[in-house]
Structure 1
Amino acid sequence: SKSKGFVTKFNSYYPTLKSFVDNKEDREGFSDRLEVLQEMAMTNQENAQRQINELTDLKLQLDKKLKDFDTNVATAQGILSTDGTGKIDQLKNEILNTKKAIQNDLQQIALIPGALNEQGFAIFKEVYSLSKEIIEPAAQAGVAAYNTGKEINNSILEAEKKAAQEATEQGKTALEIESAKKAAREAIEKSKQG
């Protein structure tokens, strides 16, 4: 959604930028707008890379959890065949702790906005299909986390739109409008995390 916003912003600037170049007037205004676009492009690139890195780390964590599940299931099968050892309760606790860890990971996915949130849910579905019987309750938490992520993303987009509209009505510069949108986005993210 941020990339779409950038393209929309660029398209809205393009006629003005072209007229500055064609008329060779107001070079300073042209430079200011160009600088704002360059800053937005760099910020978008940095944010996308950071979110991709976070999602990659999360996938590695989920892969490790899945391997732990496989180990626990194999151990459980061995223990169940030898009654009276008392290790079954210990194994159940380990499985519960692993489920809690997965639920925590899924909540982190909900904090990643936009398409990355959908990618995180796709990873979750892949893990879920491999270990369905063990993590059935975690699946329900995953759907809830995904829906929460969509709500957070929608709240952010709405807050950014409102901040941009108010700043535009107040005659703010493009840089001030972007700053107002950023402040609105950060306020929503902070309130949803806290």
Structure 2
Amino acid sequence: MVLYPDVQRRAQAEIDLVIGRDQLPAFEDRASLPYIDAVLRETLRWEPVVPLGIPHATTSDDIYDGYFIPKGLLCLAISRDEKKYHDACRFTPERFIDDNGQLTDDNPAHYAFGMGPRICPGRYAADASLWAAIATMLATLNISLAKDDDGNAINFTPEFRTGVTRHPVTFPCSISARSEIHSELVDTLRTAM
């Protein structure tokens, strides 16, 4: 959200329109918040937590999109394919929204959580947790560039560390409640935990 404030504003506008500003999004609201789901999908696609570059071998002959794929072929899952995702290095949730404002059939969760016999058994819990975290943070917080002592924005280039999981290197940012009401909602969440 620090790098793409326009995404944050659009997501917050959707939440405010559908939910209002005095309550938090709930799972029952998910179908009414397609842009929030698009943000989740783009998060899974843009900088995956688990390296998707681990080769896998096909277990049988297959035909995909008109292409013959022989048994034993090493395959890589790539979320940065420019043919599929125009300007793939850019965080663009709109790529998952159709002309009618609805979610497309393209969902990176189909490959982000693995496929076939090695699919992640916790994928539904992970999806729900990610959605709740994204929706709650966007509903209650403003996330922006940090400022130096003179009030100038501190720009940075995001860096990621890899290993078993992939995560961003610490970066400067400013996180604040969107309003007094949102601050109270966050306090309510904190005391409930």
Normalised TM-score (structure 2): 0.25
Please identify the structure whose Cα radius of gyration is greater.
1
Q: Which has the higher helix share?
A: 1
Taking CA–CA contacts closer than 8 Å with sequence separation of 6 or more, which of the two structures ends up with the larger relative contact order?
2
